[in-house]
A and B are shown apart, each in its own frame.
Chain A
Amino acid sequence: MSILANKDTRAVIIGGVAGVNAAKRMAQFDFLVNRPLTVQAFVYPPEAGQQKEIFRGGELKNVTVYDSLAPALEEHPDINTALIYLGASRAAQAAKEALESPNIQLVSMITEGVPEKDAKRLRKLAQKLGKMLNGPSSIGIMSAGECRLGVIGGEFKNLKLCNLYRQGSFGVLTKSGGLSNEAMWLCAQNGDGITSAVAIGGDAYPGTDFVTYLEMFEKDPATKAVVMIGEVGGNLEEEAAEWLAAEPRRIKLIAAIGGTCQEVLPQGMKFGHAGAKEGKKGAGSARSKMNALRDAGAYVPDTFGGLSKEIKKVYEELIAAGEISTEIDEAVLPELPPSVQEVMKQGEVIVEPLIRTTISDDRGEEPRYAGYAASELCSKGYGIEDVIGLLWNKKLPTREESEIIKRIVMISADHGPAVSGAFGSILAACAGIDMPQAVSAGMTMIGPRFGGAVTNAGKYFKMAVEDYPNDIPGFLSWMKKNVGPVPGIGHRVKSVKNPDQRVKYLVSYIKNETSLHTPCLDYALEVEKVTTAKKGNLILNVDGTIGCILMDLDFPVHSLNGFFVLARTIGMIGHWIDQNNQNSRLIRLYDYLINYAVKPEQEVPEKK
């Protein structure tokens, strides 16, 4: 037997993430005692319509989230219990609705920090409706072998250690979550375990009091004794003492009361629980509570440390009186199926990875780029050019190299609105498209005719250096035969007479201000001499220059176009922002810009 929760308990959880986590813990208990899922539904409007995945052992169950209580109860008529996991500002309203729902008999509030007035109103409402309100600030309710409401009982291992898979003879009542666990552990260690444990919450005005539950335990034939853990403040413990003394009781009461230290502490000192607040001697003090309980016939140790002995003593008395049988049916308990992660950690299974990565790792406190912590790079003065080196080439560039990379990015960042990439972004911006899509519209323009020659230029000049050293005619004829025009050579508007200043600057910077060894660039410049002799605009263009320099910097050939993509993204974002700032109108091509080279008007023939 149990109180409050049993095999027939079916619950709805009102609340978000914390509620789902509780449901997962509850499902572990369901699995341990082989009962169906306790949680049947969630109510949480922001996630209405979703399914939450809950494992009951190895079985995956889906529990629906509803936007309000009514449809949840309609679809799950078995629900008789509600657990409130909402924040303090919304919890009271949810608890009220739950109490007012005809099928729900028990509402347990986990929420902490519920205003006292709200808690008092709920208590009054519950009394009026003849329902049970547990909490607020309750860790939950545990009925050994039958039902777990909330995270009470802790992790799976602890459920077994505290014998919570089967019924014992002790009831547990506490105000505190941690101590309910401790008390259940003490009952398992010094006795035969518990029937039910209820954490009523540490607030000043909880929905129910100790006496309510003592009455229930008294009526439960399986409960032979109750371990009650009280504390300074309020008068729930005095009420319990009065109840105990009022008539002969079948159950025994063992009680520990916290807060005697207050006798020597500064007056008014506040403890963790809102209810534990009175600093006065006399009524409400821990000492007076202990005395009242002792006078009423309870077993009250001086300190918490003495609780074990009292429980043991009572257990032995109950055995001696024949109230408890010492025969215990030790069931074979299931093991919670381990997750893949756990099994892997034990080294008992090998999983082939799905992808492999070699550049960065975000599993620690912060991302590491090729092993270097991002914040450390920042704090030691490294720049974005060094991050490019790490993520694209897995190498930290030298200072000279990073200065070159920085210049390449700066020089390629933008080239006006007329080129196809910028125009694509502008067109999209004018059509009201959001930034990422507009920028990617410009990005799709990058190809062999616009900015996409960097990779191939680098690739073929590198090949030339290796296969055609000192043989430019041989290289050019191979290219003509196998590739076509040399990537990186030629410009639409620039020529020998009208040189590209970006190319001139880069070449001069590298030659005059760095010590970079530049076989590719040198080769390309020699090629340029040959090609410009044929035609003035067959100059080494910016793509070609960058491609050669990057090969000379030893970047992987696949990364080369990336420099243009990265750099030009800066410009495209700029164009998008610019167009939006100006509130640009939609672009539509004028008729006179189009040659309508179509057939003249003709009648549509009848469809055959």
Chain B
Amino acid sequence: MAKILEGPAMKLFNKWGIPVPNYVVIMDPDRLAQLGEANKWLRESKLVVKAHEAIGGRFKLGLVKIGLNLEQAIEAAKEMLGAKVGTAEIGQVIIAEMLEHDAEFYVSIIGNKDGAELLISKHGGVDIEDNWDSVRRIQIELDENPTIERLTELAKDAGFEGEIAERVGKICSRLILCFDNEDAQSIEINPLVIRKSDMRFAALDAVMNVDYDARFRHADWDFKPVSEIGRPFTEAEQQIMEIDSRIKGSVKFVEVPGGEIALLTAGGGASVFYADAVVARGGTIANYAEYSGDPADWAVEALTETICRLPNIKHIIVGGAIANFTDVKATFSGIINGFRESKSKGYLEGVKIWVRRGGPNEAQGLAAIKQLQEEGFDIHVYDRSMPMTDIVDMAMKS
């Protein structure tokens, strides 16, 4: 899953003929003034200004301003740009035309194992939660596009009438095209609005996820996926992502503020069980991390140093299952270097380290990391005969 921001989503909607309001994304308020001179709609419509960042609950944070004229919009943009929200800094705002409308609808499409499911409802906007039984749905088999007649029928079934039903059917048909051709995983338009005076439709707000693994066949994708955890990525997370993008194998890292137990775990499956074990014993994790696919030792070293810098941690769990081909000796040499470097910089004060691992060169790798005991590290090393997540129990009891 790769969530994308409204701007790129609107651009893809435009490409496939799904109606959207006029909008611009800017990084500089002066640019908005210039655009205002060239674009009539910016001068004549009421405007909405929103922080164009992956920040959850923007409305509550005052990062959405509505009903503005151009001057007020420029002011709002000035105010938002550069503002700090938690660890994030707002770098972009999106300014869209505020459409006077008569009704709000709901349309979404979500991938499933046989294709995707299309959902529509006459009760869009905030009402959708309360009117979930008004939703009508249709399964769209992989590589099979339903006819506009079939979609219009679905719209009628959902309570749309006459020309509106036909137009909704058409929009759904284009949405399916967009979903299919852009390797989307889900698109939710809420609300889809209509202004009856000129029968103008527009997708006022949209959440779109694309399959970022398919980017090799989308030369026109000029966006990067944004964080899905309700906040933008931190600098440390971005650094690890950057390393991840250029190595064989993978390194992953997400911060969880306030946790006391840091995870330096291996393998997509095993790392989750380590996190589970911490939580099941009433502990708090300071991060989620994972390395796998025999990454270079320097990449593991960078991940280790990042983890050692997490604030207020009491334990580090160097966990993993029995690796198939990740070289334990090589990856541990990265971990060992990372620990040494971190300690020399004053980190790891009072931090206990717990190790359990198996796999290629496990004996050498475990022996090497055990040496850290002699250098004054509070480190406890176990081999495959220790059940995988039991080091978590030992850490919690210590």
User: A117-130 toward B: CB 8 Å interface, digit per residue (1/0)?
Assistant: 11011011000000
- Is A86 part of the contact surface with B, judged by Cβ < 8 Å? no
Other than A261-B272, A271-B268, A272-B292, give 4 A-B pairs with Cβ distance below 8 A.
A115-B213, A116-B185, A178-B321, A232-B272
Q: Judging by beta carbons under 8 Å apart, are B324 and A115 in contact? A: no
Contact B393 A305 (CB under 8 A): yes
Interface residue? B155 (CB, 8 A):
no
Q: Does A169 contact B (CB under 8 A)?
A: no
Determine the residue in chain A with the shortest Cβ distance to B280.
A303
**B1 to A179, Cβ gap below 8 A?**
no
| A interface with B by C-beta (< 8 Å) | 21, 25, 88-89, 112-118, 120-121, 123-124, 139, 151-155, 158, 161, 174-182, 185, 202, 205, 229, 231-232, 256, 258-261, 263-274, 276-277, 286, 302-305, 308
Bound form: Cα–Cα A118–B216 in Å: 13
**Pairs across A and B, CB under 8 Å, 20 listed:** A112-B293, A113-B213, A114-B213, A115-B217, A116-B183, A121-B143, A151-B324, A155-B360, A158-B358, A175-B269, A182-B270, A185-B322, A259-B276, A260-B276, A260-B279, A261-B272, A261-B285, A269-B254, A272-B290, A305-B393
CB <8 Å contact, B322 and A205: no
Most buried by A among B1, B213, B214, B269: B269
**Residues 197-241 (chain B) with a chain A CB within 8 angstroms:** 211, 213-214, 216-217, 228-231
Tell me whether B111 and A305 are in contact (CB under 8 A).
Answer: no
Q: How far is B270's CA from A229's CA once the two chains are assembled, in angstroms?
A: 10
Q: Are B211 and A273 in contact (CB under 8 A)?
A: no
Which one of B250, B272, B389 has the highest number of Cβ atoms from chain A below 10 Å of its Cβ?
B272
Q: In the complex the two chains form, what is the Cα distance from A263 to B387 in whole Å?
A: 24
Out of A161, A176, A267, which one reaches B230, CB within 8 Å? A267
Residue of B at shortest CB range from A230? B269
Contact A258 B269 (CB under 8 A): yes
- A interface footprint on B316-345 (CB within 8 Å = 1, 0 otherwise): 000011111110000000000000000000
Partner of A177, one of B213, B228, B267, B290: B267
Residues of B with C-beta under 8 A to A175: 269
B154 interface residue (CB < 8 Å to A):
no
The 6 tightest CB contacts between A and B, nearest first, are A176-B269, A272-B268, A178-B267, A182-B321, A115-B214, A258-B272
**Would you give the 0/1 interface string for B69-99, flagging 1 where the beta carbon is closer than 8 Å to chain A?**
0000000000000000000000000000000
Q: Which residues of chain A have C-beta atoms less than 8 A from B196's C-beta?
A: none
B324 CB contact (under 8 Å) in A152, A266, A276: A152
* A202 proximity list for chain B (CB < 8 A): 268-269
B363-387 toward A: CB 8 Å interface, digit per residue (1/0)? 0000000000000000000001001
Which of chain A's residues have a CB closer than 8 A to the CB of B273? 179, 256, 258, 303-304
B322 in contact with A158 (CB, 8 Å) = yes
The distance in angstroms between the C-alpha atoms of A161 and B359, with both chains bound, is 11
How many Å from the CB of A593 to the closest CB on chain B?
A: 59
Q: Report the minimum CB–CB distance from A20 to chain B (whole Å).
A: 13
**In the docked arrangement, what's the CA distance between A176 and B267, Å?**
8
Instruction: Determine the chain B residues whose CB is within 8 A of the CB of A185 once the complex forms.
Output: 322, 358, 384
C-alpha spacing A266/B389, complex, angstroms:
22
With CB as the reference atom, state the residue of chain B lying closest to A271: B272
Q: How far is the CA of A277 from the CA of B288 in the complex (A)?
A: 14
Specify the chain A residue showing the minimal Cβ separation from B214.
A115
B275 partner, pick from A139, A180, A261, A305, beta carbons under 8 A: A261
- Given A120-B114, A304-B388, A178-B322 contact (CB < 8 Å): yes
**Residues in chain A near residue B280, CB distance under 8 A:** 260-261, 302-303
In the complex, the chain B residue whose C-beta lies closest to that of A112 is B293
Output the nearest chain A residue to B255 by Cβ-Cβ distance.
A266
B390 at the interface (CB under 8 A from A): yes
B128 within 8 A of A: no
B183, B228, B272, B326: the one within 8 Å of A259 (CB) = B272
Closest Cβ neighbor of B392 among chain A residues: A305
In the bound complex, residues from chain B placing their C-beta under 8 Å from that of A115 are 183, 211, 213-214, 217
- Per the bound structure, the CA–CA distance linking A273 and B270 in Å amounts to 10
Within 8 Å CB of B323, what residues of A? 154, 178, 181
Interface residues of chain B: helix, strand, loop or mixed (majority): mixed
Do the beta carbons of B269 and A116 come within 8 Å of each other?
no
Chain A residues closer than 8 Å to B111, beta-carbon distance? 116
Task: Judge if B32 is at the interface, Cβ distance under 8 Å.
Answer: no
Q: Does B277 touch A at the CB level, under 8 Å?
A: yes
Write the nearest CB–CB distance from B149 to chain A, whole angstroms.
25
Smallest CB-CB separation from A235: which chain B residue?
A: B113
Task: Kindly state whether residue B278 has any CB partner on chain A within 8 Å.
Answer: yes
Complex Cα distance A269/B392, Å?
Answer: 21
A304 in complex: contacting residue of B279, B285, B389, CB < 8 Å: B389
Give Cα A260 to B281, complex, Å: 12
B216 and A305 contacting across the interface, CB-CB below 8 Å? no
Q: A123-B113, A158-B359 are in contact. Are A273 and B269 (CB under 8 A)?
A: yes
Bound CA–CA A205/B114 (angstroms): 9
Contact B359 A176 (CB under 8 A): no
How far apart sit A507 and B273, CA to CA, in the bound complex (Å)?
A: 77
Q: Does B252 contact A (CB under 8 A)?
A: yes
Measured between C-beta atoms, what is the minimum distance from B117 to chain A in Å? 13
8 Å CB interface, B123-182 against A:
142-143, 180
Of A113, A182, A205, which one neighbours B388 at CB under 8 angstroms?
A: A182
Report the Cα distance A177→B268, complex, angstroms.
Answer: 8
How far is it, in angstroms, between the C-alpha of A124 and the C-alpha of B114 when the chains are bound? 8
Query: A residues within 8 A CB of B278?
Result: 261
CA distance A305 to B241 in the complex (A): 30
Contact B113 A205 (CB under 8 A): yes
Contact yes or no, B229 A268, CB < 8 A: yes
- Judging by beta carbons under 8 Å apart, are B213 and A178 in contact? no
CB-nearest residue of chain A to B3: A268
Tell me whether B388 and A305 are in contact (CB under 8 A): yes
Q: How far is the CA of A261 from the CA of B284 in the complex (A)?
A: 10
B216 — which chain A residues lie within 8 A by C-beta? 88-89
Complex interface: chain A residues within 8 A of B269 (CB): 174-179, 202, 229, 231, 258, 272-273
What is the minimal beta-carbon distance from A199 to any residue of chain B, in angstroms?
Answer: 9
User: Is the CB of B271 closer than 8 A to any CB of chain A?
Assistant: yes
User: CA of A270 to CA of B212 in the docked complex: distance in angstroms?
Assistant: 14
Q: Contact check, A267 vs B229: say whether CB atoms are below 8 A apart.
A: yes
Q: Cβ of A151: which chain B residues have Cβ within 8 Å of it? A: 324-325
B247 at the A interface (CB under 8 A): no
Give the residues in chain A near B360, CB-CB below 8 Å: 154-155
Do A178 and B185 touch (CB < 8 A)? Answer: no
Chain A nearest CB from B132 CB (Å) reads 14
Instruction: Given A88-B213, A154-B360, A178-B292, decide whether A305 and B387 contact each other with a Cβ distance below 8 A.
Output: yes
Residues of B within 8 A of A308 (CB): 387
- Measured in the bound complex, the distance between the Cα atoms of B252 and A202 in whole Å is 15
Contacts of B113 in A (CB 8 A): 120, 123, 205
Chain A nearest Cβ from B274, distance in angstroms: 8
Report yes or no: B279 in contact with A181, Cβ–Cβ below 8 A: no
CA distance A61 to B390 in the complex (A): 44
Q: List chain A residues, Cβ under 8 A from B322.
A: 154, 158, 178, 181-182, 185
Chain A, residue nearest B248 (CB): A18
Residue of A nearest to B270 (CB): A178
